[in-house]
Amino acid sequence: MIETRFTRAFGLHHPVALAPMAGVTGGRLAGAVARAGGLGLLGGGYGEADWIAREWALAGGAPIGIGFITWRLTASLLAQCLERGPRAVMLSFGDPAPFAAAIQDAGVRLICQCQTLDHARAALDAGAMTLVAQGAEAGGHGQTRGTLSLVPELADLLAARAPETLLLAAGGIADGRGLAASLMLGADGVLVGSRFWAASEALVPPGFHQAALEAGGDATLRSSVPDAVRGLDWPAPFTIRTLASAFTDRWQADPQALRAPAQAATRTAWANAQAAGDAANGTPVAGEAVGLIHDIAPAAEIVARLTAEAMTRLSSSSVQKYPRGEGAQPPRGADSPPSAPDHPAPEV
């Protein structure tokens, strides 16, 4: 077991949170992660109230939270979800300020996903308890910063401005090496998407799973093709990372042409390919971590593997394992560092 500030704050056994992937993270997946001792977050996505209600019930009473695409969230939908008593609400891709007070007044923890330092500052202004530093390696929507530099830079920002705020790393993390590295960089845990996208409980067609197992990280790309074909007006500068396919090859040069009335049949064919799991004619949403995914496994097994592998890496590493700031104690069994950081290191 790895104990961090994140596990203590949320009463978890593992410093692992499930990314609330729109259309993928349903109730069975969120509930499985929660029952395994991680933080399960339902993918509230674009704010489809009926879908959320149905999937929340499928969590089977497990203590889960929920995540939203902020620019599609409404006050009424948020109020409905807060009545269910979520463990946390995660807001991504938009200003959290209009919703922060309602979340906090309900006694629910606010998590904000950030792709830049300005996002992080806005999240702190809104009173977020936890920030997610999402690098561009992640599947789905994001920006251009890499995880490796973004995580410690946000860790330094928090150490200087809001040392009690928790930090999760996201983007390209699919095994225990990524978890261990994130803790060394100053994170309190990780938010994992693509590895759970490849869980047996995920709402992903088998054909997409098979395509991901055969792909490496080089087989992904960032584009606006899936947004254009769905008629979604995503705010700049966000793009979406998916597996490359014959469909993206065809439309990458001019994705906006997919919005034309003359392409109605193309849009229908794409939607059918998505539903059928046709990876060549659709756009499976997955990150660069596909190159680290070699099986489709139950979510509980994935959670356990992440922590077990990280424990092995942390225990055997000659690199001293101390997070951000000054004044922390070394982990059990570690030699005393020449100068000690601000927050307790993870206990392994």
Half-sphere exposure of 132 (CA within 13 A, CB side): 28
- The reported pLDDT for the residue numbered 348 is 55
Side chain identity at 38, as an amino acid letter? G
Residue with tokens 């020449």: 338
- The reported pLDDT for the residue numbered 345 is 53
Least confident of 91-105, 119-133, 328-342: 328-342
CA dihedral defined by 46, 48, 54, 60, rounded to 10 degrees? 30
Side chain identity at 159, as an amino acid letter? A
CA 332 to chain centre: 29
Pairing mode, strands 220-223 and 239-243: antiparallel
Side chain identity at 47, as an amino acid letter? G
Work out the average pLDDT over 86-109: 97
Over its C-alpha atoms, the chain yields an Rg (Å, rounded) of 19
Instruction: Give the mean pLDDT of the chain.
Output: 92
Pairing mode, strands 166-170 and 130-134: parallel
Calpha distance 65→20 (Å, rounded) = 9
Least confident of 88-97, 161-170, 197-206, 315-324: 315-324
- Greater confidence, 345 or 207? 207
Q: Read off the pTM.
A: 0.90
Calpha distance 335→341 (Å, rounded) = 14
Give the strands of the sheet with 166-170, arranged side by side. 16-18, 189-192, 166-170, 130-134, 109-114, 88-92, 65-69, 41-45
Which domains does the chain carry?
5-201+293-316 (3.20.20.70), 206-283 (no CATH)
Half-sphere exposure of 74 (CA within 13 A, CB side): 7
pLDDT of 65 higher than 90: yes
- The reported pLDDT for the residue numbered 309 is 96
Task: Identify the bridge partners of residue 65 per DSSP, sorted by sequence position.
Answer: 41
Work out the average pLDDT over 198-226: 97
Work out the average pLDDT over 199-212: 97
